[in-house]
Amino acid sequence: MSELENWVSVAEAAEASGYSKQAVTLLARKGDITAKKIGKPWVIHLPSLLQHKAEMQALGDRRHDPRRNPGWLESKRGK
């Protein structure tokens, strides 16, 4: 089995997940999914992205609740 088997381009990840390319790139930059930057483009670990999507769908409206991430409010205040 190739070690690159589960790694895809941002465009392929966006198509497979239903997210936009910009959303996939943002998740990669934030470290919310497993991704590597090879030169300029990102390479996305597709199982990581699909797991993230499933977790967000399971949370439903709570995914936007800042209390899920206690450090969120402090970071917005600049502390």
DSSP-H helix ranges across 5-60: 10-17, 21-30, 46-59
Q: Which residue ranges make up each domain of the chain?
A: 7-77
Tell me if the pTM is above 0.75: yes
Is residue 11 within 8 Å of residue 22, measured between CB atoms? no
| Beta-carbon count within 10 A of 48 CB | 18
Question: pLDDT, tens digit, for every residue of 23-74?
Answer: 999 999 999 999 999 999 999 999 999 999 999 998 887 777 767 666 655 6
Task: Check if the beta carbon of residue 68 is closer than 8 Å to that of residue 62.
Answer: yes
